[in-house]
Amino acid sequence: MAVALQPSINARLAQKIGILESACISFAVGTLVLLLVVFISGRGSLKGIYSATWWELTGGILGALFVSLTILVVPRIGTAATMAAIIAAQLTTGLVLDHFGLFGFKVFPFDLKRLMGLAFLTLGAGLMIRH
């Protein structure tokens, strides 16, 4: 539910302050909330960041791109169509990641069942986008 609400809320804020500014505020508020949660109940260690490779730190860049693009797209095609496109793209990417076991995770080979799921979801996304 939160994933569907966030782009619409951010797009509404963007009408008042701008697209990039809305994405920045979204990340700033999220960062403050997460810092509070980490300090109250975090179980990990932020010191581990020193052993992370550069590409393991790119999630924030991808998140910023994702949030900024959803703020841009939602007012143009609507929340449902945006979510449909996102889910279809995520599933496609996930299938590739699983098939090759990228990032050191277990391999889940691509098969006919997964192809059918991808085809149906992509078809559904296409129907949502072409309202």
| Shared domain check, 83 and 23 | no
| Shared domain check, 52 and 103 | no
- Please tell me the predicted confidence (pLDDT) of residue 48: 92
| Shared domain check, 112 and 53 | no
Tally the domains of the chain.
2
| Shared domain check, 117 and 72 | no
Encode pLDDT of 57-66 as tens digits.
Answer: 999 999 999 9
Let me know if 26 is exposed, middle or buried by CB neighbors in 10 A (0-12, 13-18, 19+).
buried
- Please tell me the predicted confidence (pLDDT) of residue 18: 97
Instruction: Note whether 59 and 67 are within 8 A (CB).
Output: no
For residue 83, give Cα distances in angstroms to 4, 69, 93: 7, 12, 15
| Shared domain check, 86 and 71 | no
| Shared domain check, 85 and 62 | no
Q: Collapsing DSSP states into helix, strand and coil, what is residue 30?
A: helix
| Shared domain check, 126 and 113 | yes
Could you tell me the pTM of the whole model?
A: 0.85
- Please tell me the predicted confidence (pLDDT) of residue 74: 96
| Shared domain check, 95 and 34 | no
- Please tell me the predicted confidence (pLDDT) of residue 42: 83
| Shared domain check, 50 and 18 | yes
- Please tell me the predicted confidence (pLDDT) of residue 130: 84
Tokens of residue 13, six digits: 């804020």
Range of the domain at 4: 1-77
- Please tell me the predicted confidence (pLDDT) of residue 41: 94
DSSP assignment of 81-131:
HHHHHHHHHHHHHHHHHHHHTGGGPPP----HHHHHHHHHHHHHHHHHHT-
- What angle do the packed helices 59-77 and 19-41 form, to 10 degrees? 130
Check residue 58 and report its DSSP letter. Answer: T
Give me the residues of the chain with pLDDT under 50, please: none
Encode pLDDT of 2-14 as tens digits.
Answer: 999 999 999 999 9
| Shared domain check, 85 and 70 | no
| Shared domain check, 57 and 116 | no
